[in-house]
Chains A and B, each alone.
Chain A
């Protein structure tokens, strides 16, 4: 079992959709939300995902495909 800490950023049109529920259900991963903020123009959720490596990868790929931005919680690591 692997764990990954990520930040999901949602455009307004996705805010009303239950994407985290779908992620959990479709890919059989455990989601544990730690912080979140939903505004008029943008929403984000910081959470931990637990599951097999391949299921987490597939789940995050699905998130990307529907337009959710997926980032590591620590921000970009590659610096100039």
Chain B
């Protein structure tokens, strides 16, 4: 009965982010009138009557301690122990960059090794409430692993769609959970279209299509946890990797909700967004001072950020504007440099998205956007063991013979 007392979802409606029309809580993601995206809205007055720091502190040591602010009945949550990941004071990295108050939110230690467990945990819980027959996604990496792991836990069928030219090694972490993996002979665009058609025709929950509004809400817990771990305050700066831009907008929404509920002081967090140059439509729009995204064809080693037509790019730009943040595209070489810098200074091996964030942080400090005494949180969202191929340059082996002379000749000064 871990979740006793967390069984109410204070959800008001699905609301169109463009025209404001409201819809009932159903598996919908797009407004029927303007085709704008739908977002979950809550009854904050009702939530404010029950939520408190004390109530949260008595919850489980997972993301589900914030169940009052999630759009599902948490008493039936499909939880593989996601969240409440460490917030580490990164003194070594801070020193290297000339900062004083730098923290790493290490979400690479989630059960399937990425932040996607947060969104998928909410999505699959909602899918069961909606009585779907199966859960599905189209993914080349982290999302696929997380969907497969949660489906195994829930005892529901999982279908994962991938382009047929994807390397075999990438799908082992999904296959092991028993998911059905379909390799599609076609381009990324064709896979996109096929999945959209399947979600229209089958009683399946496609996590980022028909239940996307619920799925995306899981990312808010990355704001709640950081605020709680910082003794109930939001940082001065948050540095976030961006693919669709959803994570960036939801971390901001999370901080603002805590402010609205009087759980933290006024939020003054500057929301910074980072992408890799080979797929940086949001950062490019920011640099060009344009409000709208120009879609691109992804060509980056940071594959987990490879979304050329980001659904929430426009809204991520709005968050940057509202928070006085920024966006930066690191060049492709800097991705590995960022991975290496974090590993060498803090003992954390992150995937390419983490390399993007660390190099992005370095650039922002150099540009003077982040002052040395400002409280800064960097979001590390995935584990380096998933993208080992990009870190091959870190390997520098010393070959020796099985005797002490060879060892000393190669490594130490010879004995006198």
Contacts and interface: CB of A to CB of B under 8 A. Distances in A.
Interface of A: 5, 7, 9, 34-35, 37, 39, 41-42, 44, 46, 48, 69, 71-80
Nearest to B351: A80
A77 B208 contact: yes
A57 to B, nearest CB: 10
A78 B292 contact: no
Contact of A77 (B141, B195, B294): B195
Contacts of A41: 288, 290
A73 B18 CA distance: 13
A69 B139 CA distance: 22
Interface in B259-313: 288, 290-292, 294-295, 303-313
Nearest to B307: A76
Contacts, number: 96
B143 A79 contact: yes
Given A5-B30, A77-B196, A79-B307, 5 more contacts: A35-B18, A74-B311, A75-B307, A79-B208, A80-B140
A-B pairs with the 6 shortest C-beta distances? A75-B311, A80-B304, A78-B138, A79-B143, A71-B309, A77-B192
A74 B29 contact: yes
B36 A79 contact: no
A9 B176 CA distance: 40
B244 A34 contact: no
B34 interface: yes
Interface of B: 18, 29-30, 33-37, 137-143, 161, 163, 188, 191-193, 195-196, 206, 208-209, 212, 243-244, 288, 290-292, 294-295, 303-313, 353
Contacts of A80: 139-143, 243, 303-307, 353
- Which of B35, B36, B140, B141 lies at the interface centre, i.e. has the most chain A CB atoms within 10 A of its CB? B35
A74 to B, nearest CB: 6
A39 B308 contact: no
Contacts of B141: 80
Contacts of B30: 5, 73-74
A78 to B, nearest CB: 4
Contacts of B143: 79-80
Given A35-B35, A37-B292, A46-B34, A77 B191 contact: yes
B302 to A, nearest CB: 8
Query: Max chain A CB contacts within 10 Å: which of B18, B212, B292, B310?
Result: B292
B290 A76 contact: no
A69 B297 CA distance: 11
A71 B308 CA distance: 10
A76 B303 CA distance: 14
A80 B209 CA distance: 15
5 contacts: A44-B292, A69-B295, A72-B192, A77-B192, A79-B304
Nearest to B306: A80
